Amino acid sequence: MPSPDRPHRSRRRRWRHVGVIVVALVVVLVAGACGSTDEGSTAGTAPEASTDALEGLRRDPPLDVSTVVLPEVREGEADQPFTLVPQPGNLLFVYFGYTHCPDLCPTTLADLRKAFRELGPDAARIETAFVTVDPQRDTASVLPSYLSSFVDGGHAIRVDDPAALQAAEDAFLASSTITPLEDGTYSVSHTAFSSIVDDTGTVVAEWPFGISPDSMASDLRILLDETDRDRAGGSSTTAPA
């Protein structure tokens, strides 16, 4: 270890004592510094809670999206208002995307489809809502059939009013931007995470883009168990530790 040899040449004995103190200090401080770094990174970035092994992020306090209502579109039918809350005992997967999106959106939906296969019969308890951020192109004749390519019985959500779309995005902390291009077309950017909503209208987990189908399935199992427990327990509203 580098000893502090700069200040003095005399009094070596005293320095020996000092050396011991320095060592002690260094050990304590190194341990402290490293320890706090680890904790910091865990709290700041990795949402992986060791208690329940949930891969997705649990936000504290959780987001309440129970008041979000948007039109659900079906080809050849009138739009129906859809509250972004699943049936009792179910969970709702929500994604803000668009169909002219060959990479992120189909990757996420294809992975979700895979997760459903892993879940087996429990997959019937997971509802899916795909909210288009590109209502101009994602019409009632496009959006439902796009979604049905991945999942059965999904809710195709489309709203023309940009303010209504943004209000819904805000509730989920999602966002999107349409940018006109010089050639007359436009580019679309959007957040690419997914949200899982429980039957109280609470976002119980958020998944970053790229989460594996295995992790999706595992998280959904945990969240379904929690839903069952909450419904059985009645009074318990918080996630069990």
Partner 1 sequence: MSRRSHWAAAVALSVLTLTAVGCGSDVTTSTESTTSSPAATGTSAPVTADVTVGDPWARTSPMSSELGAVYLTLTSNTGDTLLGAAVPTSVAGSTEIHETAMADGTGTTMMPGTTAGDDTSDTTEMTQMTQMTEPPGTMGGDSPMPGSGEMEMRPISSLDLPAGEAVALEPGGYHIMLIDLVAPLVAGDTLEVTLTFERAGEQVVTVTVRDS
Best CA proximity match to 151, nearest among 134, 129, 132: 129
Interface map 185-204 toward partner 1 (x if CB under 8 A): --xxxxxxx-----------
**For partner 1, which is the closer residue by CB, 25 or 124?**
25
Interface with partner 1 in residues 30-59 (CB under 8 A): 30, 33-34, 37, 45, 47, 57, 59
Nearest to 190 by CA among 85, 88, 97: 97
Closer Cβ to partner 1, 106 or 123, answer by number: 106
Neighbours of 109 (CB within 10 A): 22
Q: Reduced to 3 states, what is the DSSP secondary structure of residue 92?
A: strand
Q: Which of 113, 95, 93 is nearest to 190 (CA)?
A: 95
Report the distance separating Cα 94 and Cα 58, nearest Å: 15
Applying CB under 8 A, what is the total number of residues that bind partner 1?
62
For the chain, what's the residue count? Answer: 241
Residue 20 interacting with partner 1 (CB under 8 A): no
Task: State the residue for tokens 């004749």.
Answer: 141
Q: Is residue 7 at the binding interface for partner 1, with CB under 8 A as the rule?
A: yes
C-alpha 50/C-alpha 71 separation (Å) is 38
* Pick 112 or 239: Cβ nearer partner 1: 112
Q: What is the DSSP letter of 64?
A: B
Interface mask toward partner 1 for 140-179; x: CB under 8 A: -xx--xx-xxx---------------x--xx--x-xxx-x
| Positions that interact with partner 1 (CB under 8 A) | 1-4, 6-8, 18, 22, 25-26, 29-30, 33-34, 37, 45, 47, 57, 59, 99-104, 106-107, 110-111, 113-114, 141-142, 145-146, 148-150, 166, 169-170, 173, 175-177, 179, 181-183, 187-193, 206, 208-210, 213
